[in-house]
Amino acid sequence: MAEGGGVSTVSENVPSYEHIDVNSTPFHIGTFRNLWLGMLHPETYSYSQTSPETEDLRFISDMGIAPETLAELKSVCSTDSLRSHPEHEPPDTEAVPPEPQLATLKLRKRRQDYKKSLIRDSMGRHDVYANEMELLAIGRRPEDSKDLIPEGELILSFNVVYPVLFERFKHVRAYQTLHVLGSQKLTELRDAICCVSDLQVFGEFSNTPDTAPQFLSKDHYKSAFFFFEGTFFNDLRFSECRDISKTTREWAKTHDFPDFKTARMEDTTFYDLKVKVGYPYLYCHQGDCEHVIILTDVRLMHRDDCLDRKFYPLLTHKHRVATRKCCVCHLYISRWITTNDALAPVDPCLYCDQCFRMFHYDDHGNKLGDFKAYVYIDPGAFN
Amino acid sequence: MEYFKRTLNTDCENILGRFQATASVRFEVFSAIWREINFSSIFYGPMEPNKCRVFTRLVLSVAAPYLLPPYAFQIRVGGLYLLYGLYSSQLTTPKEKVRLALKDWDELMRFQQDAVDAQHYDVVFILRKLLHERAFHFTAMPNPVKRRQVERQGQQLCETFIDRPSRAQELISTDMLEELANVHEHYENLKRVISAQTDQPILSLVKQNLVPKLRGAVLTYYNWQRNQTVTFFPPQSSRRAQLLALIKSKSYGQAVEHCASLIFKNKFNV
Ligand SMILES: [Zn+2]
Ligand SMILES: [Zn+2]
């Protein structure tokens, strides 16, 4: 055991439900991994396969049976014995069999008939997309063997929920799912979370629209923290970074809350964490952009997973959001938002880059009229 | 996809119920039922590849709990066979895995040992085959927890599949028997006081020796139950299995003896 040992350490790091189907008890990720590795034979999670002959000999000696008994077992337990159709007449797996006995198939048949009556399944698209991302990575092996993730590594899945900061996210709790490795630093997850507020551009640029891209928030406000189980993990990699959890901690101190701890995000791996699965925690950046973050799953790496270290954190799900199109051409994604704009049908108004420049500046780039222009980052631009 | 949960439950309970009725733990018996229902066809029908994956995950997650307590040994064997059948007949590539939580690993290994001791080689063979094929994901929790759906429907336990000894034990807890003896004694005393006033032999309405009789009834039930269980752990099986059965019966018997002596102590104030 990495931590302490002791019986209490063992049982308290075996996760169980704190609230049934909602969240687990808190456990130390590294110890949890060691418990699994201590119980499993390394072959059980190895990427390579033991030869069938070795496996057979082992079974014979472990059970104390004759080789003939094993041969008989193999034939009795073969998957062929589960087949309801003749060997050379494979069934059409694309169709629900007529007169199905299974309740699930009856339901599938009903739903299928119903679906046929619709033109198309409008909900399908975003699922397809999520799955494409997941499928791309499945079973991927690295080109360079040094990128191969060692056997027995842990894989953690995080759902990062978008903040309700944006009016349009109020009803759909959009989220992205990221897989990280136990040995990765918290900062690696932070860098992989994409959020429009990192791309916001502050300031009014109607006089100098060409200078706008230099003012990306991500490059200006680098402070951020994760909050897990009473500890603020601050990103202090850069000299400009500040401990932005300080205000919260000081407020908590004066309001009778238990003391919160702090740690450095860049010095902490996921193995060092003690967390609950299914419990809402916090990721905060850009000062006030707060994301609820939930660890939905922790498990040992499987040989069918993406085994290339370079792909982690691995994005496996992303909510597709509708993009806002330019008010003039209704074709391109909006890049500018204007106010006090005499040319605009509404206030504020969204334009694509081309239409914005065409309407608001003359051939020499001189501003026409008295309006204000801000950079608009469409949340759908990440799709 | 969640709407399939109920029908999947029905289908699993149906095949396991039929297996239970055979009073067997043989895979041949199970596979005959599987073929008859054509259980592999649960995956048939048009479905986009991504949905197919989600559906397969759901199917495995509905079947997985039958492998574990509180289900009785025979149901757990059926659960193992069911998972084996579902795992091998799924149509996704690579195959979706069966999730196994850390807290359940010990239970699974004990189950395997019981099967080894009772020489149920088909059970051991299939479990080892699944492990060898890397059919499991070794996880923290039985299912990924998302906190998304507000209303959640926990899987209902099928009562008739549950291991019975635990329920009998609950019935005759020390506290409960003691309480019953006290109440009964109090009741007898009250009756005695009333009958002294009236001459009517009301006391005959009271069941004599209620607590010992209850204990006797539960013991008889327990012995019957043990004989049922023995079906899956035949006498020729190894010493350990017999020892296990003995230990179980002893601890049970002792609990009863212990309560009874306590009760008699109370009754006669020794
Ligand atoms: Zn954000
Ligand atoms: Zn436009």
Quick one: pLDDT at residue B257? Answer: 40
Asked if B129 lies within 8 A of A135 by C-beta distance, the reply is: no
From chain A, the residues in CB contact with B123 under 8 A are none
B241 has a pLDDT exceeding 60: no
Mutate to test the interface with A, among B138, B153, B155 (most CBs of A within 10 A): B138
Domain-located, residue A146: yes
Domain-located, residue A103: no
Q: Select the more confidently predicted residue: A97 or B255.
A: A97
Q: How confident is the model at residue A171 (pLDDT cuts 50, 70, 90)?
A: low
As a whole number of angstroms, the longest Cα–Cα distance in chain B is 85
Same domain, A260 and A199: yes
Asked if B27 lies within 8 A of A124 by C-beta distance, the reply is: no
Chain A, window 26-45: residues with a beta carbon less than 8 angstroms from a chain B beta carbon: 27, 32, 35-36, 39-40, 44-45
Same domain, A235 and A348: no
Domain regions of chain B by residue span? 2-164, 168-231, 240-270
Pick the residue from chain B with its C-alpha nearest to A128: B50
Least-confidence region, from A182-191, A274-283, A362-371, A373-382:
A373-382
Q: How confident is the model at residue A327 (pLDDT cuts 50, 70, 90)?
A: confident
Q: What is the mean pLDDT of residues B96-111?
A: 96
Cβ contacts of A312 within 8 Å, gap of 6 or more: A149, A179, A180, A181, A184, A188, A306
The ipTM (two decimal places) reads 0.82
B98 has a pLDDT exceeding 80: yes
From chain B, the residues in CB contact with A274 under 8 A are none
Domain-located, residue A166: yes
For residue A350, give its domain range.
336-382
Quick one: pLDDT at residue B233? Answer: 66
Asked if B34 lies within 8 A of A63 by C-beta distance, the reply is: no
Quick one: pLDDT at residue B188? Answer: 81
Into how many domains does chain A fold? 2
> Can you read off the two tokens belonging to residue A30?
């590294």
Asked if A298 lies within 8 A of B101 by C-beta distance, the reply is: no
Least-confidence region, from A144-148, A338-342, B47-51, B61-65:
B47-51
Same domain, A228 and A297: yes
A151 has a pLDDT exceeding 80: yes
Apex CA A44: angle with CA A42 and CA A50, to 5°? 90
Interatomic CA distance for residues A286 and B53, integer angstroms: 37
Domain-located, residue A42: no
From chain B, the residues in CB contact with A127 under 8 A are 48, 50-51, 54
Which ligand is nearest to the Cα of residue A217, counting in written order?
Answer: 1
The model's pLDDT over A359-373, given as tens digits with 9 standing for 90+, comes to 889 888 888 888 988
Asked if A135 lies within 8 A of B4 by C-beta distance, the reply is: no
Mean pLDDT of chain B: 80
Quick one: pLDDT at residue B255? Answer: 40
Asked if B145 lies within 8 A of A131 by C-beta distance, the reply is: no
From chain B, the residues in CB contact with A51 under 8 A are none
> Can you read off the two tokens belonging to residue B182?
């006290």
Three-state secondary structure readout of A267-314: HCEHHHCEECCCCEEEEEECCCEEEEEEEEEEEECCCCCCCEHHHCCE
B80 has a pLDDT exceeding 60: yes
Q: How confident is the model at residue A330 (pLDDT cuts 50, 70, 90)?
A: confident
Query: With pLDDT > 70 as the criterion, what percentage of chain A qualifies?
Result: 83
Distances (CA, A) of B238 to A187, B109, B113, B114, B263: 55, 17, 11, 10, 38
Does any CB of chain A come closer than 8 Å to the CB of residue B239?
no
Quick one: pLDDT at residue A219? Answer: 63
For residue A331, the CA-to-ligand 2 centroid distance in Å is 6
Least-confidence region, from A82-96, A113-127, A247-261:
A113-127
Same domain, A341 and A314: no
Pick the residue from chain A with its C-alpha nearest to B136: A302
Same domain, A250 and A182: yes
Quick one: pLDDT at residue B60? Answer: 97
The model's pLDDT over B156-180, given as tens digits with 9 standing for 90+, comes to 777 788 776 656 656 666 677 788 8
Asked if A36 lies within 8 A of B138 by C-beta distance, the reply is: yes
Same domain, A168 and A131: yes
Interatomic CA distance for residues A261 and B179, integer angstroms: 50
**B105 and B82 in contact (C-beta within 8 Å)?**
no
Domain-located, residue A286: yes
